[in-house]
Amino acid sequence: MAEQRERWFFLLALGVIALYVSPLFLLGENAHIRVHDNLDSNIAWYKVLSESGKITGPLDA
């Protein structure tokens, strides 16, 4: 019973991944896939905080 449930979860996970990447295979270069990248904004935010001297300040500063 446990092996059958594990196999079902595995197939469900493969299905979700296939659904997520299917636009890439169907549309090719015209596919739109979001990339959640906010590293560049976080670096600028920490740089401003460090240069203003508020990086270790209180939360309401």
- Res 18: pLDDT: 95
What backbone phi and psi angles, to 5 degrees, belong to 9?
Answer: -65, -40
- Res 61: pLDDT: 62
- Res 4: pLDDT: 92
The whole-model pTM stands at 0.49
Taking the chain (61 residues) in runs of 10, the rounded mean pLDDT of each run is: 92 95 87 73 84 79 62
- Res 35: pLDDT: 73
The residues spanned by each domain of the chain are 2-52
